[in-house]
Structure formats: C-alpha cells, structure tokens
Structure 1
Amino acid sequence: MDVARLASSLIRIRSENPPGSTTEIVAFIAEFLDSLGVKNRIVSNSDGRDNLVTTEASPQLLLCGHVDVVPAIPDDWLYDPFSGTIADGYVWGRGATDMKGGCAALLVACRDLIESGVEPNVQFAFVCDEETGGEHGIRSLLAEGLLKPRECLIAEPTPHTSPAIGQKGLYRLDISFRGTPGHSSLYPLVGRSAIMAAFDLLGYLREVHAHQFPVDEDLQPLISQSAALFREIFGIEGGDSILTRVMFNPGRIEGGEKANIVAEQCRMDLDIRVPWGCLLEDLRRGIAEHAPDAVVREVDVAEPTLTPPGARVVRTVCAEVERVHGTAAPFLQWAASDAKYLRDEGFDVVEYGPGEITTLHAVDERVSIEQLERAVDVYRGVIRAYSG
C-alpha cells in the first residue's frame, strides 16, 4: 500500500472529535504495525478514546501523531469528507492535512526502512484527542510514564520547507459572569448586566492586543522568518504581530434571559494566544481585575515553548528537509499542539508534516500526493539518522 492509499484508508475511518472515539482507527494502525513486526500497545480510555504506543526497548526518537479530526459537514465539499477520494493529484477528506496524511507518511517511512533491512530505533505514539486538549491522549500517556523525555518529531502539517520549532502560549478560559437583574427600561441606572461585564473584559483584551511585546534578540530572526511565511501562506501583512501580540477570540458567548431584563448571567469561552515576553501571571491578574465578579475556570494553560535551533532533532530534520527540498528554514507556530505538553516534560520537539495549510479544518481539506511522498522521504532520512 502506497502512502496515498494508506492516507485514504485512514480518512475513511471516522474519528471526529467530538464525539472522540478512535477505537477503529487505532486498531487499524495496530494491525499495520503488527504486519511489520513492530510491538505495540493500545491504551484505552472511556468512550473509545484509544491511544497506541510502540514498545521499543530504548528508542532514540519519538514519532507522534494524532488520529482525531475536527467534525465536517458534507455540504459544499467537492468530495464527501470521509470518502478519502484520490483525485487530481490529491487525497481529499477531513484529516488529510490535519493530520492523517502525516500519520500515513510516518508509517510508510517505517515500513520502507524495515523492508530495506534497517531496524528503526524509534517509538510511535498515536493519540486520541489533540483537537480537544490532549487530556486522554498525550497528557495521559505522559502522566502514566509511557513516554520518556527524548527527541521528538510530530507529523503536524507545516510549510514544506519549514519545520516548526516553537509555538505561542495558550490561555483558554471558561468565564461565568453574574449580574443584577432589573427592568431594561431603567438600565444602566438600575441593574448590572452580566453581558456588559463580558463586553468590558473584551475591551480590556483589545487594549492588551494593541501592545507589542519585545522579544529576545536571538528570537528576532525566527519572528521575521515566520512573518514571511504567514505572508506567503495566508496573504497576511505584518505577520510579526501574530507572534509578538496577544491574540484573543471569544469563541462562544451565551447569556441573558429576555430583551427587557438586565442580563443576570453570561458565559464565555475565551481563547487567548500568548506571545514570548508576556507573563501569564500578569495576564491572569489583569483579567481578574477587569472581571472581578466573574468565576474564571482555566481550561488549558501553557507558556510559549521553544526547542533550541541547535538541538539535534532540529538539525537532523532541517538537514533532511534541505536534502529533499533544497532548502530549510525553521519557524515559530502561531497555533498550539501537543508539542507544548512534550516540551514541558523535557522533550526536544520539532513539528514537520505534509498538508495544504489553507485547507486545515476547512471545506475541501486535502493533501497532495507529492507532499505525502516527499514527507515519507524526509521521515526515512530522519529515522535512519536515529537508528545507527
């Protein structure tokens, strides 16, 4: 089975999160690894949230991927999002880019090396819930001691010449505001609106966003390099602001009781991305001061993380990317992934994988067959470098 057909097979096994069951896809990967003689273990959680880890005795490198995908509604897709259609030089479907294509490329690279007589000195971890914070996936495997600190490659989609070696911090909150109800005709003289309290907090965050945080001199080249990538991929000018400013999104707000009642309650799911130089404690204090009567629940908290550019795994991945593509330039990520949890536990992590970045989580998600095949080539070189 070539890498395109394997990616197609993985896409056809539904693993949307929510609901989050990965039983079937993990069993498929286990069977694939069994056929190669690679010993593995399925680690099960409730509701079918299964992970898989291989049990190599003393692996030098961790190869990691998540097998859950965000949901997809078939409307407006060129091909059904769970068909895994192979057409026009692409494999189409939900997860093609994020990140079943990368998982397929890792597996094929391992198979190719085993068939050539190389014994890969690596450990695999395929996890169930990267899309919802990793509680049952990477965080659970780390807590159980099933993954020990070492160098790591995650097959998350990246620009084809640019491995990701760092990412902004994450501060995700569930905030409940309480107000004092009253008749709307007397507001704001009578009553205190929970909805307006949420609005006031967002005003504060707009002020925070306007501030550009200074970065250390050694980070500046990576910031500039990353800004150029944002311009190339998304057409965004001033991309350095993405990495040097607090970005925030009130992804969900619900509240109030009736148009003529001053709102007694309001709830907001708030996603904040934290740049280097911004102290989480300062941000936490500012939110508390501007929402003094709110109940703030921290859902996910992570400082910005970085793998040193001189780390072996960075040098190895960049060398293989340069061999295959002719050039390599690491960058800093605007989003978050399981890398943050691994770096916090002492892993040196690089992310590199195939994908059409602009289709990530979007309609008509797809990955080109050429990208898949080149990723296999890069992964073969990386695995070989760690296998003696």
Structure 2
Amino acid sequence: MDVLDLLSSLVSFQTVNDPSKGEMPSRECPAFVQSTLQSWGIDSEIIEHNGAYAVVGEIGEGLPKVMVMAHFDVVPVSKDEWHYEPFKLTVEGDKAYGRGSVDDKGNVASLMFALKELKEKPLNGKVLFAFTGDEETGGATALYIAEKLHEINKLPSFLINADGTGMIPIVRRRKGFSVTISVPTAKKMTKGKLEEQTFEIRTPVVETRHAAYFLPGVDTHPLIAASQFLRETDYEAVSLTGAFLKSNVVPGTVTLTYVKPEQGTQSEVEVDENLTKLIKAVVPLVRAPIKAEKYSDFGVSITPNMYTFDGERHSLSLDIRAMSHDNQDIERTLKEVLSYNLPDAEVDFGNKEKAGFLFTDPKEPFVQTVLQVLKENGERAKAVEGAGAADSRYFTPLGVKAIDFGPKGGNVHGPNEYVEVSSLKKLPHVYVQIIDKLLSL
C-alpha cells in the first residue's frame, strides 16, 4: 500500500459534516485510521467530543516538540456538478479526484505515512499527532485537544497543521465568523407577472466554492447578484432556492422567483415582503465596513452562503473572514447595517469561540526550516497567507508557533476536487524531513 492507495480508502468513507442535515462522520473512518497505524506499530486512541471523533497519539520520547494535525471530515457535495464519483478516488493523469482528496484526506494519508517512517527512526523529542473529524464545522475537537495539552503542560513548541494546499507554508490565516440573520414571513397579495431567474457562480481565475477563497471584484456570487437584481427593480420576492450546502460553501446557483409589476394585469400573486427585504439587504451586508486588527492580503470578506426556510422564518447565514480575534466590532457594524435595511431581523452571532487568527513571522527559525526543506526538494520556498481559517487558530493563542501546509491540488470545497498525485507522493518524505529538523531546534 502506498499513499495513493491509502487516500483511496479514506475517500471511500463518506465523512460529510453537514449540521443542516444532521450528518457527522461516524466512528468508522477514525477506526480505520487507528487500525492502520496499529498495523505499523503506532499506538493511538480514539476520543469523542460532542459527538465528533478524533484519533490522537504520540511517538518518540521526552518533551513534546512538534505536533502534526489533519482532519478527515469533508464538506457536502452537489453530485450534479461532479464529473466523477465524489466518494471514489478517480485518477486521471497527475490528478486524483474525490471529495477530501486535497481538503483534507490527502494530508491525513501523508501524515500517516510520515509517522510510519518516523517510528523507525531515533527521534530527538516527542511528536504528537491528531486526526480530527469536525474541522469543517468549527473544530471544537481541536480546541478541546489544545486546552487539554495546555492543562497538562504538554503543548508542543511547533504545530504543523496539515490543512493547506500548494506545498507552500501558510503563516497567516484570517479567523472565520458566522452570523445568522432571520425574519418571519410577511406575505401579501400583489398584482403582476410571476417570473423566475437563476443566477450562477462565476470564478474565472480560481475554481473553488470555499467561501474564504471568494474574491470580490474577481468572482461573482449568485446570491449577491440576486440581491442587486432586486435592488435595481421594484420586483418582490416569492421564493428563493439554490444549491445551498453549508455556511462556508458558496452556492453554485441561486434561483429567485419574483413578481414583476405589469400594467393591466389583474391576476394576483402571493409575495413575501420580508424575504424581499432580506435579499435586498445582502448587498449592504457584504459591504459592511468591518475593521481588522492586522493586515491581510485578502482583506475582510463576507459571503451569504446558506439560506433556509422552515415555513415560518427565513434564515440567512453569513460567512465572515477577518484578521481579528473577537467579533465585537463585527456585531456593532452589522447591527448598524441592519438598522437601516432590516431593523426587525433577529441576529445570532454564533459561539464566542476561543480562537485567534494564524500569524507566524516568516523570519522564525520554524518557518525558515520548512522553507529550507522545500528548497532542497525542488519546491517553491515562500511563506504565504492562506484564505481559509484552520484549526491552528486554537493553538496560536496559547503560544504555539504554527503553520498550515499541504499538497498541490484544487477545487477546494467545490465539484471535482483533486490532489496532484506527484505532490501527494512527495509529501510524506517532506513531512519527515521537516519534523526531523524541527526536533533538533
């Protein structure tokens, strides 16, 4: 078995994490990870936290110097948009397609093989590892692990959070915030013509559905387009449907059913005044002037990715990315926007999670060591900012130096997600070399 075979097995586990449908990864995938490690002589245990499972363990002796981490849960799929079976790894040329192939099961497989190789070497310190199952829904297990290690004085000096792409160390990441805005139905009858329009996502440069990678000015968000459509007309909304999957996944399509006033029309159609107001409020909400604590290449991004209707209330979830620790300014700014556009809305600003943004100085010996190994392996030696948030944000507030890292690939959170096979096969050895050098710092 090589790393590609292992990834194929991991992809076959449908570890979708979708709270809206009550889906969470079962114990089956972590049990497979544990048994595979055990067959290589690596002891581990499966822990459970709030219904999510993780595989944790350690190799080596002495003080914990390095920790490696990756996640096996994945985002939902819209099968109609896939050219391949999402849960069966399909290799074509140098690309291996499958949900989680690059985010993040390719990293799970690579780290497992790295641990196998490290187990046979004399190590100058202890290496901790964790494979978690709830990163895509906030990473509560990573927070739990970080706090436990802090309590027992076993925090590592360095964390390699294998939740990146491009074979490039990610040293900055914004924190993700979630906000849900809801309004009750407010139906009335109006005269006009019933019409429908579908708006589609457009990502002309980088094909992805990950909300953190959405770049205003380059990409087109279908719900933002629908909002501007209503704002530029006097049409009223009847219903809103679309490929809504998750709060941090940009929908591929959004269909707006509305009534267009037409002179002389006597037929009446039922519209929803509050749905109309909610959709119109999207444009000012995504342009809210939120201030950040630190600079980010990506600035502050706000995307409206999840809409639901339970028969009584319309709910819209915003995914917010900012280089900030808390959401006090976010709350204040969004409330001001809503006071002008949707004053009667209920707003849920989510959990006040104990997390921060990722910020590790590229001049740190830790980062320079990673860059040195990459250069020796013929890779581009450059530290960059990553668009999405990651579980490293639970360790950085505790003083742990961290980077995010991973293989080359594409279509993160989108259809036809893939990992580059050549990159994947190189990755375990790169991890081994990095960890070896970090243990000597």
| TM-score, normalising length: structure 2 | 0.69
Q: Which residue of 2 aligns with 1:29?
A: 33
Inter-CA distance 68–333: structure 2 relative to 1 (3 Å threshold): same
The answer to whether the aligner puts 1:198 opposite 2:278 as a matched pair is: yes
- Which consecutive unaligned segments of at least 5 residues does structure 2 have? 192-233, 237-271
CA distance in 2, matches of 1:46, 1:294: 30
The answer to whether the aligner puts 1:99 opposite 2:104 as a matched pair is: yes
* Contact 2:176-2:320 within 8 A present in 1 as well: yes
SS in 1 for 2:181: strand
Q: CA deviation at 1:343?
A: 1.7
The answer to whether the aligner puts 1:53 opposite 2:56 as a matched pair is: yes
Q: Among 308, 321, 326, which residue is 1:273 paired with?
A: 321
Q: Which residue of 2 aligns with 1:249?
A: 303
- Which consecutive unaligned segments of at least 5 residues does structure 1 have? 224-239, 258-263
* Contact 1:94-1:365 within 8 A present in 2 as well: yes
Q: Which moved more, 1:359-368 or 1:297-306?
A: 297-306
SS in 2 for 1:98: coil
Inter-CA distance 311–5: structure 2 relative to 1 (3 Å threshold): same
Q: Which residue of 1 aligns with 2:423?
A: 371
Inter-CA distance 5–39: structure 2 relative to 1 (3 Å threshold): same
Q: Which residue of 1 aligns with 2:71?
A: 66
Q: Which residue of 1 aligns with 2:175?
A: 169
* Contact 2:64-2:156 within 8 A present in 1 as well: no
Q: Which residue of 2 aligns with 1:293?
A: 344
CA distance in 2, matches of 1:104, 1:303: 27
Q: CA deviation at 1:171?
A: 2.0
* Contact 2:64-2:155 within 8 A present in 1 as well: no
SS in 2 for 1:350: strand
* Contact 2:68-2:130 within 8 A present in 1 as well: yes
Deviation per CA, 1:246-280: give whole Å up to 9, x if none. 211111234697xxxxxx8532111112246x984
CA distance in 1, matches of 2:303, 2:277: 16
CA distance in 1, matches of 2:425, 2:125: 19
> Alignment RMSD, CA only?
3.3
Q: Among 312, 324, 332, which residue is 2:377 paired with?
A: 324
Q: Which residue of 1 aligns with 2:130?
A: 125
Q: CA deviation at 1:304?
A: 3.8
Q: Which residue of 2 aligns with 1:361?
A: 413
Query: Structure 2: which amino acid aligns with 1:198?
Result: L
Inter-CA distance 10–380: structure 2 relative to 1 (3 Å threshold): same
Q: CA deviation at 1:305?
A: 3.1
Query: Structure 2: which amino acid aligns with 1:297?
Result: D
Q: CA deviation at 1:175?
A: 1.8
Deviation per CA, 1:280-309: give whole Å up to 9, x if none. 433321212233433321225665431122
Q: Which residue of 2 aligns with 1:154?
A: 161
Inter-CA distance 139–304: structure 2 relative to 1 (3 Å threshold): closer
The answer to whether the aligner puts 1:283 opposite 2:283 as a matched pair is: no
Q: CA deviation at 1:74?
A: 4.3
SS in 2 for 1:60: strand
Q: CA deviation at 1:374?
A: 2.0
Q: Which residue of 2 aligns with 1:229?
A: none
Inter-CA distance 14–267: structure 2 relative to 1 (3 Å threshold): closer
Q: Considering fraction of residues, name the structure with more helix.
A: 1
Q: CA deviation at 1:61?
A: 0.6
SS in 2 for 1:97: coil
Inter-CA distance 86–279: structure 2 relative to 1 (3 Å threshold): closer
Deviation per CA, 1:193-214: give whole Å up to 9, x if none. 53355346434334436x9x79
The answer to whether the aligner puts 1:345 opposite 2:398 as a matched pair is: yes
Aligned residues: 348
Inter-CA distance 35–267: structure 2 relative to 1 (3 Å threshold): same
Q: Which residue of 2 aligns with 1:2?
A: 2
Q: How many percent of aligned residue pairs carry the same amino acid?
A: 26
Query: Structure 1: which amino acid aligns with 2:366?
Result: V
Q: Which residue of 1 aligns with 2:239?
A: none
Query: Structure 2: which amino acid aligns with 1:23?
Result: R
